[in-house]
Every structure is written in structure tokens, then in C-alpha cells.
């Protein structure tokens, strides 16, 4: 039965016999491990030649000879010829571990398939079957990257950090791979009400979850307190994930939180998310731009000065957080020059099982939403693209 080991070849002599594709792949891995590398071959690939010119390896431009393994700790054969057998025999006599290309049974060492995810390295041996090992390696790496396997440190970091993670429009499967991986590492999660809350059930029981969710016109945890919480926990050596709905930098105050962390000397990473300004209209079949209909769009809150937006049939307006002020917003847009007959759609609870779309015009949408009991969270789309919605009457 093989004994799995991790070698440290930095500064130690490693010989590669051969200069083709297999040798080139091994050269890259060995240089990454900082081996003192020697390639023995009458001809080599353009890449090995380039590395030799750069002085990153020594190229002996001839065929293999006895004595080439003197001082070596490891040898890789890659000639696909009887020379490999001679090298393996010499390595056995010299007590040098031998990676034998294409012949795992004749080798005294196997090169595993390796994946690196952050500071975790995974090495997979497929029993001598390189393709099998690569397939397994890729599956494990994907599970680590997606957060399906735990990457969380069991001891505190010397210096904690904060990740501002965009959770997307609310559906857990629209959270990015990077976001899921950081959640798998988190010690503390500071969460908004519009974030994909289903993912919280996947966290270990000892992960602290702090709810700072805001309701329209009701902010029980003010932004300054949120900033303080992020800094406090990070300074305690914890991985802190600030999980938001949408994208942290699209009306999400992510910029304020990043600046607060940086001012406190706390490392911070921003992970973009799928913004609901585009995703929720898409869920309702409404593109914010469409050839021949709209060539641009603006994303605003209903609290903004709507009169400053472009007045053009070819420009779409997307309003977030504006259900309560919908009548006021529609009036402001009409007063600014938008036609009362401009199509409008209000999409509630995007991507949820009970997602609902209400369509009308600037002149009718407020009354229609009152009649239907429309409530936040909802995204409002104003413009000709609304006619592309399957809910628009034909």
C-alpha cells in the first residue's frame, strides 16, 4: 500500500529526463515548488527553452547518461522510450525516488493531482490512473470553492478580516461561488433581511449570526453600529461575512462599510453580487435594455430626485425601495416630462415562489398596486421594455 507524503523540494536537486509535453507540465509544478531543477534532453519544448534562457532551470542539451542523477533527490522520466527504464533502474540503485512517465507500476513515486483553494492544498492519487485522479481532484476543488466542504479555520486568524458579500436577489443558488466559500469560512455573519437567508441553515452551530435587517423607514441597527460590529469582530481575529442582498455597491452602503473597515486598519474584501436591479426584472421577463427599445438604464431609489433622470423612450428607469412612495414617484416622473402612458412594472419578491408582477402605466400603476396590496420588497421598472413582459396585455 502506498504511503502518501508531501515533499518539500525547494533548493533540492530534481532531474527531469525528457523535454516534451509531460516534461513541460512537470517542470511548471516543480518550479512552483522551488526545486533546483535540471532538464536532460537533446530537444525541449519552447517553454522549457524559455525557462532555461531566463535562468530558472538548467538544461543539459543531450541524451541521458549515467551520473546525471548524482545529488538528485527526485527524478521524473518523460522520454516515452527505453531510456525511461534505464533512468528508473539507475534511480533505484542510487536510492532516488522516481516518477516514471506512463508507467506507474515501474515508478517508486506517483505525482498526485493537486488543487489549491486559498491556503488549503488537496492532493489526490488515483491508484496510478492520472485521469481518474484529475477527475476526483476537480470534484473536490469545486466542492471547496462552492463552500460545500468546510474551509473554516478552527483557530482564530492572527488578524481577522471582513468580507462584504453580495448575496444576489434572494435566491440561494444565485449567490456567487466566492460568496459561498467565504460563508463556509465565517466565524461571524452579519446579515440583512434581503440576503439569501436559506444559506444560514448550512452554517455550523457555533457561527454567530447577527441580524441587522432594515425595514422601510425603520432601521433598528443604524449604519454606524453595523460598522462598529464589523470592526470589533474582525479585530478579535474572526472571519466576518457581511451578507447583503443584491450587490454591496449598488445602493447597499458597501462603500461606507469598506471605508469604515479600512479606517480601522481591518482588511476587507468586496465580493460582487447579482444586483436585484437587473435580476428581478429579468425574473419577470423584462430586460432593462433591448435592441430597438432601450439602450441604457438608471438605477435609483424613490428617494432620489427623479426629475434629473433622462426623459427618453429609449432609457429605462429601475427604482429600488420605492413601493410606499410609488404614487409620489410616478407624479414626479410625469411632471419631469415622462408620458403618463409610459409602461411600468412592479415585481414583488423576485425569484421567490410567490413572485408577482403588476403592470400598468405611470398614470395607473399607483392605484393598481393599492388595489392588489403590493408590498416591499419590490423592484419597479419604468420604460418601453415593460411591454416585453409576459404579463403585459397583448
Residue 97, pLDDT score: 94
- Residue 378 near residue 346, CB atoms below 8 Å: yes
Catalytic residue of the set 84, 192, 238, 247: 192
**Boundary residue ending a domain (81, 114, 146):** 146
What's the CA gap between 93 and 339, in Å, rounded?
Answer: 89
517553454: which residue's cell?
A: 47
In a domain, 152, yes or no: no
Helix (H) or strand (E) holding 334: helix 326-335
Clarify whether residues 96 and 23 are in a common domain: yes
Clarify whether residues 320 and 243 are in a common domain: no
Give the burial string for 196-215 (b: 16+ CB within 10 Å, else e): bbebbeebeeebeeeebebe
Structural domain including 310 reads 278-388
> Do residue 198 and residue 300 come from a single domain?
no
- 157: its cell numbers: 486568524
Q: DSSP E strands: which ranges in 207-294?
A: 208-211, 239-244, 267-271
> Residue 189 maps to which CATH number?
3.40.1010.10
Q: What angle do CA 125, 131, 134 make, to 5 degrees?
A: 60
pLDDT value for 243: 95
CA 160 to chain CA mean position, Å: 20
Place of cell 527553452: 49
Q: Look up 192 and say whether it is catalytic.
A: yes
Helix (H) or strand (E) holding 320: strand 315-320
- Put residue 349 in one of left, alpha, beta given phi > 0 → left and psi -120 to 50 → alpha: left
Cell numbers at 383, concatenated = 420604460
Are 66 and 165 part of one and the same domain? Answer: no
pLDDT by 10s per residue, the chain, length 394: 778 788 899 999 999 999 998 899 889 889 989 999 999 999 999 999 999 999 999 999 999 999 999 999 999 999 999 999 999 999 999 999 999 988 888 889 888 777 776 667 777 877 767 778 778 877 777 777 666 776 666 555 567 899 999 999 988 889 998 898 899 889 999 998 888 888 888 788 889 999 987 655 555 789 999 999 999 999 999 999 999 999 999 988 999 999 999 999 999 999 999 999 999 999 999 999 999 999 999 999 866 678 889 999 899 999 998 888 999 999 999 999 999 999 999 999 999 889 999 999 999 999 999 999 999 899 999 999 999 999 999 7
The residues facing 269 across adjacent strands are 163
What's the confidence (pLDDT) of residue 305? 79
Specify whether 51 is located in the same domain as 131: yes
Q: What is the pLDDT of residue 151?
A: 66
Q: 71: Cβ–Cβ under 8 A, 6 or more apart, which residues?
A: 13
Q: Where residue 29 sits, what CATH number does that domain have?
A: 3.40.50.720
Domain ends where: 146, 173, 196? 146
Residue 393 domain-assigned (yes or no):
no
Distance of CA 104 to the CA centre of its chain: 36
Q: In which element (H, E) is residue 46 found?
A: helix 46-53
CA–chain centroid gap for 163, Å, is 12
Helix axis angle for 21-32 and 46-53, nearest 10°, is: 40
pLDDT at 202: 78
What is the pTM (predicted TM-score) of this model?
0.65
Taking Cα atoms as reference points, which of 201, 181, 179, 266 lies closest to residue 229?
266
Q: Residue 153: inside a domain, yes or no? A: no
Is residue 89 domain-resident?
yes
Task: With respect to residue 1, please indicate whether it lies within any of the assigned structural domains.
Answer: no
Same domain, 38 and 130: yes
Do 244 and 317 have their domain in common?
no
Give residue 106's region: left, alpha or beta (phi > 0; psi -120 to 50).
alpha
Tell me, what's the pLDDT at 177? 87
89 and 183: one domain? no
In a domain, residue 7? The reply is no
Residues 283 and 247 in one domain: no
d(CA 346, CA 366): 10
214 an active-site residue? yes
Residue 4 belongs to a domain: no
Residue 119: predicted pLDDT? 66
Domain endpoint, select from 252, 274, 296: 274
What's the maximum distance between 2 C-alpha atoms anywhere in the chain? 91
Are 127 and 177 within one domain? no
Residues 329 and 269 reside in one and the same domain: no
Q: Are residues 254 and 282 in the same domain?
A: no
262 in helix, strand or coil?
Answer: helix
Catalytic pick among 103, 214, 304, 391: 214
Total number of domains in the chain: 3
Any domain includes 20: yes
Amino acid at each position: 500500500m502506498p504511503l502518501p507524503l508531501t515533499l518539500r523540494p525547494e533548493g533540492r536537486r530534481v532531474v527531469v529526463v525528457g523535454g516534451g509535453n509531460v516534461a513541460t507540465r512537470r517542470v511548471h509544478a516543480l518550479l512552483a515548488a522551488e526545486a533546483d531543477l535540471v532538464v536532460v534532453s537533446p530537444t525541449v519544448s519552447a517553454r522549457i527553452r524559455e525557462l532555461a534562457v531566463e535562468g530558472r532551470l538548467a538544461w543539459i542539451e543531450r541524451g541521458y547518461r549515467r551520473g546525471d542523477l548524482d545529488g538528485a533527490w527526485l527524478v521524473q522520466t518523460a522520454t516515452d522510450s527505453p531510456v525511461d527504464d534505464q533512468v528508473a533502474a539507475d534511480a533505484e540503485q542510487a536510492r532516488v525516488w522516481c516518477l516514471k512517465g506512463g508507467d506507474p507500476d515501474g515508478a517508486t513515486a506517483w505525482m498526485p493531482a493537486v488543487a489549491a483553494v486559498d491556503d488549503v492544498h488537496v492532493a489526490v492519487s488515483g491508484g496510478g490512473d492520472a485521469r481518474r485522479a484529475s477527475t476526483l481532484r476537480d470534484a473536490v476543488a469545486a466542492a471547496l470553492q462552492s463552500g460545500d466542504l468546510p474551509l473554516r479555520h478552527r483557530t482564530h486568524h492572527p488578524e481577522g478580516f471582513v468580507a462584504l458579500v453580495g448575496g444576489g436577489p434572494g435566491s440561494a443558488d444565485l449567490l456567487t461561488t466566492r460568496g459561498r466559500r467565504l460563508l463556509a469560512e465565517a466565524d461571524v455573519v452579519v446579515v440583512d433581511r434581503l440576503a439569501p437567508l436559506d444559506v444560514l441553515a448550512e452554517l455550523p452551530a457555533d457561527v454567530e449570526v447577527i441580524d441587522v435587517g432594515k425595514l422601510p423607514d425603520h432601521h433598528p441597527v443604524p449604519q454606524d453600529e453595523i460598522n462598529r460590529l464589523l470592526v470589533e469582530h474582525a479585530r478579535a481575529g474572526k472571519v466576518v461575512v457581511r451578507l447583503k442582498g443584491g450587490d454591496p455597491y449598488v445602493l447597499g452602503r458597501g462603500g461606507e462599510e469598506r471605508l469604515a473597515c479600512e479606517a480601522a486598519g481591518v482588511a476587507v474584501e468586496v465580493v460582487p453580487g447579482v444586483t436585484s436591479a437587473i435580476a428581478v426584472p429579468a425574473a419577470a421577463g423584462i430586460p432593462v435594455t433591448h435592441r430597438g427599445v432601450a439602450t441604457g438604464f438608471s438605477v435609483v431609489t424613490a428617494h432620489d430626485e427623479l426629475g434629473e433622470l433622462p426623459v427618453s423612450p429609449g432609457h429605462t428607469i429601475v427604482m429600488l425601495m420605492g413601493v410606499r412612495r410609488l404614487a409620489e414617484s410616478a407624479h414626479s416622473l410625469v411632471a419631469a416630462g415622462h408620458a403618463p402612458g409610459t409602461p411600468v412594472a412592479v415585481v414583488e419578491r423576485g425569484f421567490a415562489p410567490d413572485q408577482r408582477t403588476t403592470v400598468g402605466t405611470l398614470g395607473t400603476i399607483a392605484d393598481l398596486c393599492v388595489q392588489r396590496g403590493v408590498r416591499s420588497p419590490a423592484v419597479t421598472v419604468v420604460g418601453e421594455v415593460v411591454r416585453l413582459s409576459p404579463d403585459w396585455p397583448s
